[in-house]
């Protein structure tokens, strides 16, 4: 999704870059258990065994890094590296205000056969995730009375207040309906970047009985 967002926001084009897939700060086994299709005009290679993309970034072996995890060189404030957007929180909050998209972190999937044959199981899994999140949300919101001292993060209560003001009381929503704008964007990015031969719709990738979640 980051490549798609950069494409929308600043005209970034994946095919203008060479890509290296690998781990940072810890050994990472090859991700060879799922297909990794990419257009023929995009250069993609797998990092050598034991390679650390964070170290490569700091040493100048690569020009940029897209990662859900923050590399050690950034956390340690190496003078050789920096964030693309230093005030990233302001940039991200502005992006949400303009687009209504809260980028998806993970999607839970099951086989199509299971989804078709055992809808009650799939619904139960979804319900379980929702209940777990609700329990954690309730704990954090109740903790605001005591400034969430048990979490040992100063000003956490103020951050929760800010997030609820912008994102709503359910600031990390689960389900299709609440995430439809983000899902539509992901499916569009997949097609635009050549990962799918056509643009799929939300209705094609989610079972009907979860579309109203």
- 212 neighbors 177 (Cβ within 8 angstroms): yes
Tracing tokens 């999937």 back to the chain, one arrives at 109
Query: Domain range holding 204?
Result: 112-210
Res 68: pLDDT: 87
- 172 in a structural domain: yes
Domain boundary among 37, 69, 84: 84
Same domain for 201 and 137 = yes
- 103 neighbors 182 (Cβ within 8 angstroms): yes
- 178 neighbors 206 (Cβ within 8 angstroms): no
φ/ψ (deg, to 5) at 45: -130, 160
Res 174: pLDDT: 93
pLDDT (tens digit per residue) in 89-119: 999 999 999 999 998 878 888 898 999 999 9
Tracing tokens 């494409």 back to the chain, one arrives at 7
What tokens appear for 210 in the block? 């979860």
Res 37: pLDDT: 81
Same domain for 178 and 120 = yes
Burial group, residue 95, by CB count within 10 angstroms (0-12, 13-18, 19+): middle
- 122 in a structural domain: yes
Distance of CA 118 to the CA centre of its chain: 28
Same domain for 69 and 10 = yes
- 134 in a structural domain: yes
Res 129: pLDDT: 95
Same domain for 116 and 203 = yes
Same domain for 135 and 172 = yes
Same domain for 204 and 121 = yes
Total number of domains constituting the chain: 2
Same domain for 137 and 179 = yes
- 107 in a structural domain: no
Please give the Cα distance from 192 to 12 (Å, whole number): 12
Res 33: pLDDT: 73
Mean pLDDT by 10 residues, the chain (213 residues): 91 91 80 78 88 94 93 95 94 96 87 93 94 95 92 93 95 92 94 92 93 93
In this prediction the pTM is 0.88
Res 78: pLDDT: 96
Res 204: pLDDT: 93
- 89 in a structural domain: no
Please give the Cα distance from 82 to 170 (Å, whole number): 32
Same domain for 148 and 76 = no
Same domain for 125 and 72 = no
Same domain for 126 and 48 = no
């Amino acid at each position: 999704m980051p490549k798609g967002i950069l494409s929308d926001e600043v005209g970034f084009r994946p095919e203008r870059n060479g890509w290296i897939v690998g781990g940072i700060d810890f050994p990472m086994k090859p991700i060879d258990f799922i297909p990794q299709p990419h257009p023929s005009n995009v250069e993609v290679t797998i990092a050598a065994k034991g390679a650390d993309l964070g170290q490569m970034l700091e040493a100048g072996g690569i020009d940029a890094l897209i990662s859900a995890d923050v590399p050690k060189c950034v956390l340690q404030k190496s003078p050789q590296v920096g964030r693309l957007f230093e005030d990233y929180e302001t940039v991200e909050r502005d992006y949400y205000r303009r687009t209504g998209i809260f980028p998806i972190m993970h999607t839970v999937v099951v086989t199509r056969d299971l989804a078709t044959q055992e809808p009650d199981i799939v619904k139960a899994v979804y319900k379980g995730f929702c209940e777990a999140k609700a329990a954690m949300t309730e704990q954090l919101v109740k903790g605001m009375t005591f400034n969430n001292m048990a979490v040992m993060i100063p000003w956490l209560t103020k951050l929760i207040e800010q997030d609820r003001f912008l994102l709503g009381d359910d600031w990390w929503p689960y389900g299709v309906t609440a995430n439809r704008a983000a899902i539509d964007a992901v499916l569009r990015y997949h097609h635009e970047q050549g990962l799918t031969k056509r643009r799929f719709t939300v209705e094609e990738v989610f079972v009907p009985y979860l579309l109203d979640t």
